[in-house]
Amino acid sequence: MEKVTGRSIVKGIAIGKILLYRKEEQSVKRTKVKESDREEKRYEAARKEAVSQLNELYEKAVREVGEKEAEVFKVYIMILEDSNYTDSVTHMIRSQQVNAEYAVAEAGDKLSKVFAGMEDEYFKARTADVKDITERLVRILSGKQEKEGIQDGPMIVMADDLAPSETVQLGKDKFLAFVTRYGSVHSHTAILARAMDIPALTGVDICREWDGKMAIVDGCLGVLYVEPEPEILEVFKKRQKEDKEARELLMKLKGKEDMTLDGKKIRLYANIGSERDVTDVLENDAAGIGLFRSEFLYLESEDYPDEESQFKVYRSVAENMAGKQVIVRTLDIGADKQADYFGMGYEENPAMGYRGIRVCLDRQEIFRTQLRALFRASAYGNISIMYPMIISVDEIRQIKEITESVKEELKAQGIACGKVEQGIMIETPAAVMISDMLAEEVDFFSIGTNDLTQYTLAADRQNMKLDPIYDAHHPAVLRMIQMTVENGHKHGCRVGICGELSEDTALTRTFIEMGIDELSVPPSLVLPIRKIIRNIKAGRETV
């Protein structure tokens, strides 16, 4: 028996035979061409064929996993139909006089690197989507056929990586689980796996010799057993049955209050990265949205998104949430989140540089456009606005002047606005130390534990060498959180946590005992954390 560890994408247990899924290697050669027009026509024909194939995959995905999860293929089509994407390919064909295959591969590689270089895991996971689109176009241009689905099944499917198109192409009924060498919990393939409700692991060092062997995938602990002993097999068959019963029990928590045994109510919200995630929020019964990362509108665009396009997104989210609070974080560009058209320039230490609210206060035309869109959308739902990377009272007062000006401007134009709460991210030691002063200026705090940990411990979270000391459980970090809660409550300011620490179930009790009012977590964790909350006594009086 071999026992191998990986990273869990979807929890659960699968037992069955392994199928090693091998991709066809695609090599693209640069060829000098004389007839650029001909190459552009080849690209255009391939692009239309790709759109046609993706529409077929969309229909298949709708049937097998649902409309919401199938949206990934609509996103792919939007990219292929985006004039900026096409222009980047055709410009390369013309300017460098190269073949269409090479231009597509280069354009895809450039876009992939933009996403891969981002710190935010959601955006980093978009790298795989761009590669999937690129490979499809290159395959069509090269005249290769798409690989057929699995003939046998269902199986535990293993591969170096699986693209969403391959996952759907193989067919839902062919999977017991999937295990990959590479991938991300935020990838669209992972989203599809969750929709299929099948266990999945990534980060597993796969061996060719495993093909056809019996295995167990433990998606709860992130472990793979190859050719398990009979007694191990029996243990997992029993656990599989118990797991199914536990999941059914968890679904009974839908509609229940997020309240401790001694009556303390917690706002249990969800984090989202785009309007496409709202369905997940509603399906998992979150009380609201605690962090809407608005920067995706900028990072997925080739130019500054205008007021109208932003308004439509914010309005859509607000209306779909039907009165539940939606906290939108204003543009948090800079550091790992870069868009070429911003022209941010090189920085020696970008994590401590020109980012977040600093960019917005410096480039107020960008800030005002977003604020106009948000205040307009507030007439259609319960929108609140949150500002990132705050370190001073002066910044808040500048923001207030701008927001008042924007509201007056809209009023003069006869445009209605709703009542909008305004809050800030607490993600620096400076903000913690003056949180009593900041609390007098805003309606709520949301603690961004990722950056707060980084700045408190002077440990770059991007530096793998520092992983042993990047400890979000460090007493200094927990004391910072406690101080923020106490100072916020003294001045009537609500305090929540929206960073990764909010989903750390080992600390749920600790946070509630500290007096935290709100936890904002990935949608899939709402019900599991609700279960924990409903079995806790708050332990002391809180404001």
Given this model, what pLDDT does residue 49 score?
A: 94
**Can you give the pLDDT at residue 73?**
86
Rounded Cα distance between 241 and 360, Å, is 53
pLDDT of residue 191 exceeding 80: no
Mean pLDDT, rounded, for 4-10: 87
In this prediction, residues 511-529 reach a mean pLDDT of 93
The tens digit of pLDDT for each residue in 296-317 reads 888 777 788 899 999 999 999 9
To the nearest whole percent, how much of the chain has pLDDT over 70? Answer: 93
Q: What is the bridge-based pairing of β-strands 494-497 and 214-218?
A: unpaired
Residue with tokens 């960073």, as numbered in its chain: 499
Angstrom distance (rounded) from CA 223 to CA 201: 8
Residue 541 has pLDDT above 70, yes or no: no
d(CA 39, CA 42): 5
Per-residue pLDDT tens over the stretch 207-261:
989 999 999 999 888 999 999 999 999 999 998 888 777 777 778 898 999 999 9
Residue 499 pLDDT grade (very low, low, confident, very high; cuts 50, 70, 90): confident
Residue 498 annotated among the catalytic residues of the structure = yes
Question: Amino acid identity, residue 429?
Answer: P
Per-residue model confidence as pLDDT tens digits over 272-287: 988 878 988 998 899 9
Q: Grade residue 343 by pLDDT with cuts at 50, 70 and 90.
A: confident
The SS3 of residue 202 is: strand
Measure the N-to-C terminal CA separation of the chain; round to a whole number of Å: 55
Helix (H, G, I), strand (E, B) or coil at 155: strand
H or E element in which residue 384 lies? strand 383-387
Supply the pLDDT for residue 59: 87
Tally helices (H) and strands (E) across the chain: 21, 16
Question: Strand, coil or helix: what is 201?
Answer: strand
Distance CA 209, CA 225 (A): 14
Q: pLDDT tens digit string along 285-296? A: 999 999 999 988
Tell me the pairing of strands 383-387 and 422-426. Answer: parallel
Q: Is pLDDT above 70 for 453? A: yes
**List 186, 360, 493, 498, catalytic entry:** 498
The b/e string for 160-197 (b: 16+ C-beta within 10 A; e otherwise) is ebbbbbbbbbbebebbbbbbbeebbbbbbbbbbbbbbe
**pLDDT confidence bin for 3, thresholds 50/70/90:** very high
**How much is the pLDDT for 314?**
95
> Which of 91, 186, 188, 473 is an active site residue?
188
Tens digits of per-residue pLDDT, 378-398? 999 999 999 999 999 999 999
Q: Per-residue confidence at 183, pLDDT binned at 50, 70, 90? A: confident
pLDDT beyond 90 at 408? yes
Residue given tokens 């996403």 in the structure block: 115
Q: What is the pLDDT of residue 17?
A: 93
Rounded to the nearest angstrom, the gap between the alpha carbon of residue 80 and the centroid of all alpha carbons in its chain is 22
At residue 268, the pLDDT reads 96
E strand or H helix that includes residue 240: helix 230-250
Distance CA 437, CA 6 (A): 45
Quote the Cα angle for 481-486-491, to 5°.
130
Distance CA 99, CA 434 (A): 59
Please tell me the total number of residues recorded for the chain in this structure. 543
Q: How far apart are CA 170 and CA 522, in angstroms?
A: 28
* Highest mean pLDDT out of 53-67, 424-438, 462-476: 424-438
Per-range mean pLDDT, top range of 57-66, 186-195, 424-433, 524-533: 424-433
DSSP secondary structure letters along 410-440: HHHTT-------EEEEE-SHHHHHTHHHHHT
Give the pLDDT score at 543. Answer: 30
Residue 480, pLDDT above cutoff 80: yes
| pLDDT value for 540 | 47
Give yes or no: 188 in active site: yes
Handedness of CA 379, 382, 387, 391 (dihedral sign): positive
Amino acid making up residue 214 = M
23: DSSP letter: P
Q: How far apart are CA 136 and CA 163, in angstroms?
A: 11
Q: Which residues pair with residue 214 across a beta bridge?
A: 17
Strand pairing report for 422-426 and 444-447: parallel
Q: Which two tokens stand for residue 233?
A: 């097999």
Radius of gyration, CA atoms only, the chain: 25
| pLDDT tops 80 at residue 348 | no
Average pLDDT of the chain is 87
Token pair belonging to 136: 């499809």
- Per-residue pLDDT, averaged over 403-421, amounts to 96
